[in-house]
Amino acid sequence: MAETLFKKNMSKKTRKLLKNKLTILGLFIVILVVFCAIFANIIAPYPNDVTGTVNFSSMNLAPGKENIFGTDEIGRDIFSRVLFGARYSLVMGVMVLIIAIAIGVPLGLIAGYWGGKINGIIMRLTDIFLAIPSIILAMAVAAIMEPSLRNSMIAISFGWWPWFTRLVQAETLKLKNEQFILASQGIGASKWRIAFIEILPNCLSTIIVKASTDIGFVILTGASLGFLGLGAQPPAPEWGTMVAEGRVYLPMMWWQTTFPGLAILVTVLGFNLLGDGLRDYFDVRVD
Amino acid sequence: MGRFIGKRLFGIIPTLFGLILLIFLLSRIMPGDSVRLALGPEATPEQIVAMEEKLGLNNPIPIQFINYIRGLFTGDMGMSLRTGRNVLLDIKETFPATFELSLISMIISVAVGVPLGILSAIKNNNWADHLIRIFSLSGIALPRFWLAILLQLVFSYWLGVFPVIGRGTIEVANITGLRIIDSLITGNIAGLSDSLLHILLPALSLSMATAAQIMRMTRTNMLDQVNKDYVLAAESYGLPENLVYKRYMLKNAFISVLTTIGMQFGSLIGNAFLVETVFGWPGMAQYAIQGIMYKDYNAITGVTLIIGFFFVIINVIVDLLYGLFDPRIKLES
């Protein structure tokens, strides 16, 4: 009985989710970006242009039939490069969130469930990390390492985990005195077991929503680091790096900066729309 | 009130201390020999040792940290390897430009974001609401450095209506370091219009995403109020809609919006770095980016710390403002 009710309820909510046009648009964009990232070497008209290949015959061409986004100063097809750029952005978004969750969630569970001094120490630590705007902290950390995609991901994760710690700590505090937790305590389950087997699954929807609303911002921050030269290095077709490279050729070759930037905008918009939809679906507040 | 401010300021000391420790440790584990980089390839080993001694780099890290903290109390943030000056002096010169840009952007963001957020909430699910929401969703997703480049391309290069780079070309007396304020104080009309002309595009590109964020928060929080009893009561008394919206609902909704504004100041300054790069704005970004290239660890530490301090203070101010909007938050307790 309860189960069928649950199913009915779910399908109603799912239907509501699918009814929201903006969420559908977001889902469509995300699928498109993932598709581009996976099959970039098949879809891209000039897959070899990802590297530093030089084609003098096709330098600085404006967008046209052959190259719909135009070509750059050494004749590489911008469209092909933008397609491959999706890989960098997706890897960036997913990896940073995996690291942030892997660090932030256990700390939040421990802080919330153990309480006392441990809670004080962990939450103070998050205060310190959150005392600097995350983009500035990411820049500072990236600045002390050699610039690369991997290091920029480490740099962004460095300032991102405290958000998950705070969120999970608050959730844990709410769940701590629920009947089922008290029951587990009664039958003598260990603290670790209760925190990670009983409480954690109940925080999952919040974590998922937080991650899905964050991924767009992570991608945006990653592109910003790339733009400052603190991320993936040329000739990598990372979008932020491409915008920075193309800036030198303004105002004449406007397409070199315009299209990679547009790709960032569309991708981030897609993830934000989807994240919004998921937030309504799970009905949790994460901000 | 005084006690609350004192208590709140006292409470940020551990955070600030932790912040200093964190940034300091980060800067000391920086790989690459920054001293060698600063002295150039010709430097002899003796010169490098002498320089390291001068900078105190030969001391153990804990001693270095104590010295750094001691220096902070006397306004000494260490010597910049690139400019050879006290980092604090360098920051003092570049901070006002960044601050002015961020402040103007915040004013634009609030002036645009709050009214549009209210409008969107009032016209819930109307076409105006949809339009505003689409604008805000794309605004948040907009890379600010890219918007800056587009605005510069169209309005400065192609149409030629705005200057391409810089803060201004007309001389303005330096009093506060904020060109707009300074030209107002000295009655320098030409300087004022010159400054406004220069700041408009950078401020616009910086404020778009912030305005969108504020708009979203205003809308959500206004909608949260709509079904509250006090709104129903006010409406049934026959109070004019406008009064209910502005005096009653907004005042309640604004508390959460205020938090957003405080948080957004941080991302505003962070993104100011990117926008400054595009518009050749002589703020902290140029100083910091040069510092990064030279591995100028004192400069990087200094800039990060100043921004951290600034951000912490902004959030204290936001906390204090809560009391103005919500009498239930007793500042004394």
Q: In sequence order, what DSSP letters do the residues of A123-140 get, joined into one string?
A: HHHHHHHHTS-HHHHHHH
DSSP state of B245: I
**Pick from A152, A21, A27, A39: nearest CA to A99:** A152
Per-residue pLDDT reduced to its tens digit, B274-289: 999 999 999 998 888 8
Whether the ω angle into residue B60 lies within 30 degrees of 0, i.e. cis, is no
- Asked if the Cβ–Cβ distance from B149 to A140 is below 8 Å, we say no
pTM (predicted TM-score): 0.90
- Asked if the Cβ–Cβ distance from B289 to A228 is below 8 Å, we say yes
C-alpha to C-alpha distance for B79 and B71, rounded to whole angstroms: 11
- Asked if the Cβ–Cβ distance from B271 to A257 is below 8 Å, we say no
- The angle, 0 to 180 degrees and rounded to 10, between the axes of the packed helices B189-226 and B127-141 is 120
Kindly state whether residue B159 falls inside one of the protein's structural domains: yes
Residue A1: predicted pLDDT: 45
Per-residue pLDDT reduced to its tens digit, B86-124: 999 999 999 999 999 999 999 999 999 999 998 888 887
Tell me how far CA of residue A152 lies from CA of A33, A231, B33, B288, B303, in angstroms: 21, 5, 21, 17, 19
Kindly state whether residue B21 falls inside one of the protein's structural domains: no
Kindly state whether residue B65 falls inside one of the protein's structural domains: no
The phi-psi region of residue A62 (left if phi > 0; otherwise alpha if psi is between -120 and 50; otherwise beta) is beta
C-alpha to C-alpha distance for A102 and B204, rounded to whole angstroms: 38
Domain parsing of chain A, residue ranges: 19-40+76-282
Provide, as residue numbers in chain B, all residues whose Cβ is less than 8 Å from the Cβ of A127. 15, 18
Whether the ω angle into residue A251 lies within 30 degrees of 0, i.e. cis, is yes
**Pick from A85, A182, A192, A261: nearest CA to B149:** A261
Kindly state whether residue B77 falls inside one of the protein's structural domains: no
Provide, as residue numbers in chain B, all residues whose Cβ is less than 8 Å from the Cβ of A228. 273-274, 277, 289
User: Does the interface ipTM go beyond 0.85?
Assistant: yes
- Asked if the Cβ–Cβ distance from B29 to A145 is below 8 Å, we say no
Kindly state whether residue B271 falls inside one of the protein's structural domains: yes
Provide, as residue numbers in chain A, all residues whose Cβ is less than 8 Å from the Cβ of B138. 265, 269
Q: Is the pLDDT at B330 greater than 80, yes or no?
A: no
The CA dihedral of A179, A184, A185, A191, to the nearest 10 degrees, is -120
B121 and A196 Cβ atoms separated by less than 8 Å: no
Kindly state whether residue B154 falls inside one of the protein's structural domains: yes
- Asked if the Cβ–Cβ distance from A144 to B141 is below 8 Å, we say no
Q: Which residue range is the domain that position B146 belongs to? A: 87-325
Mean pLDDT of chain B: 86
A249/B contact by beta carbon, under 8 A:
no
The enclosing domain of B175 has a CATH number of: 1.10.3720.10
A22/B contact by beta carbon, under 8 A:
yes
Question: Into which CATH architecture does domain A19-40+76-282 fall?
Answer: Orthogonal Bundle (1.10)
Tell me how far CA of residue A223 lies from CA of A28, B197, B205, B255, in angstroms: 22, 29, 16, 32
Q: How many domains does one find in chain B?
A: 1
Cβ-based neighbour number of residue A53 at 10 Å: 13
Greater model confidence, A29 or A50 = A29
Provide, as residue numbers in chain B, all residues whose Cβ is less than 8 Å from the Cβ of A134. 266-267, 270
Kindly state whether residue B210 falls inside one of the protein's structural domains: yes
Residue A237: predicted pLDDT: 94
A157 and A103 Cβ atoms separated by less than 8 Å: yes
